[in-house]
Structure 1
């Protein structure tokens, strides 16, 4: 029998993961995951699910919903990606990571039967999550798409509710190079006669969702946009909170809940405007595309500080020029690489920054130590641009 470390090594190396390899690991279509589910007993048809897609906001809405249902006594499975520190973060029940023994059991039980299908990393992960949730008899399961929607491995489920949080330009090489193509792909999670909820910021592509929902006789809801004054949390987290509240309202008959209007009580996710230190204030945020970074920069306007220090790293496939133009040019920048092999060269990133105080580091630890020496107690440190960089800092 293999150890947990050997199984995880198998998952990451034999079948490359998007987290490590990027586009070369992307596998299009549902035929393979459907065949995999047939082999493992079709758990996707035996559990109750909420399905989430969206350019940004999936993780936060998933986290809010997980905690809303858990705090109301339900047993909640959650499948998210990518992970920050440990693979097991992706698959949780009531916030507890899947035990190592369950990962080993799944691998040992199905490795031979699945060998002919050669699952990708994400197909393995999806199948493992669905099987584990069914085995543990969860009440409700929050399932995030990995990439897109229509052809994502998670799209084998038949959810009680489909949620599309936001639509922005990201992963254009897979989903299309304009906002309408991307919306069309995300709309692929809309199912016949199954309610669908849109986040409050979906405006330009709303007609696409209206048309597809009408074709599928799927009741369409949208979270109402409103000005929320609560400066302790960025507006994007508050919008996601409103979406989670609306989702729980839609499903209230099946899953009655009592909820306090206090988003902080239900927010436990890491890497989303995560304050890890005060004096000086250090914030980690996994925002890594134009829409996500725009939300981060907006929140900076609500902060008071003497000087801003920004530690950045991006994946090589990101179109960083437009993203970097959003950052305040009077900040001091520390451009670095995460330990992930997809990390972009800091010197290439630096050429697109408008600021004058730019430092490049090949080692993120050196960058972090340099910030610690330079920063004063009334300064502000923002670390963002890459899920992998935030994960490295947390580790």
Structure 2
């Protein structure tokens, strides 16, 4: 597959070319799994037409209500959120962030306290400015604790008591050519999308 804007274009042997609405790097493996499952379902007698595949991949967010998977919600600056929260998910996110052209990278991040926090933090880009925060859930890791752990991993930034204030600080520090990423936890993205409404592209 290849990235095309905020989507992925898949060139497949058995299913032709189609566009996947989800643009995250992790979708390459997810798509391979789904196509394998489709093969098995077809063998079991289910009718799944090429058009079903094209529509399913191309409109997955609209059809399912899925939000927060490498979702671009703003431009000038570019604003992206992703719910990836473990070492596997963060490795894809970190690689994708490193590949985006932006003057500066701002990362609004919070985590829950039952994840492998040290491994996640070690994967994140050191060149970014961080806005450490916490989601409005009991399992949320305190933003000051997260900031201390991040500092040990070479990450620098400030701490904020909630996602809204952290995002507002990132927005105020950004120029039109910057990138703001919001993530680290599904709960962080949920809090963010509760108050931030995607801009029309």
How high is the TM-score relative to the length of structure 1? 0.40
* Closer/same/farther in 2, CA of residues 302 and 330 from structure 1, 3 Å limit: closer
Q: Distance in 1 between matches of 2:2 and 2:126?
A: 27
- The aligned residue for residue 351 of structure 1 is 148
Give the number of the structure whose alpha-carbon radius of gyration is greater: 1
* CA-to-aligned-CA distance 1:57-104 (integer Å, 9 cap, x gap): xxxxxxxxxxxxxxxxxxxxxxxxxxxxxxxxxxxxxxxxxxxxxxxx
* Closer/same/farther in 2, CA of residues 377 and 325 from structure 1, 3 Å limit: same
Helix, strand or coil at the partner of 1:283? strand
- The aligned residue for residue 78 of structure 2 is 281
* CA-to-aligned-CA distance 1:252-293 (integer Å, 9 cap, x gap): 142211135757514312111011112211111111111110
Unaligned runs of 5+ in 2: 8-22, 195-201
Higher relative contact order (CA 8 A, sep 6+): 2
- The aligned residue for residue 337 of structure 1 is 134
Deviation at 1:375, TM superposition (A): 1.1
Task: Supply the RMSD in Å over aligned alpha carbons.
Answer: 1.8
Q: Distance in 2 between matches of 1:340 and 1:299?
A: 28
- The aligned residue for residue 58 of structure 2 is 265
Matched, 1:309 2:99: no
Q: Distance in 2 between matches of 1:331 and 1:271?
A: 21
- The aligned residue for residue 387 of structure 1 is 186
Q: What are the within-5 Å matches in structure 2 for residues 169-180 of structure 1?
A: none
* Closer/same/farther in 2, CA of residues 364 and 230 from structure 1, 3 Å limit: closer
Deviation at 1:386, TM superposition (A): 0.8
Deviation at 1:356, TM superposition (A): 5.3
Between the two proteins, the alignment pairs up a number of residues equal to 168
- The aligned residue for residue 100 of structure 1 is none
Unaligned runs of 5+ in 1: 1-227
- The aligned residue for residue 290 of structure 1 is 87
Structure ranking higher in strand proportion: 2
Q: Distance in 1 between matches of 2:57 and 2:46?
A: 22
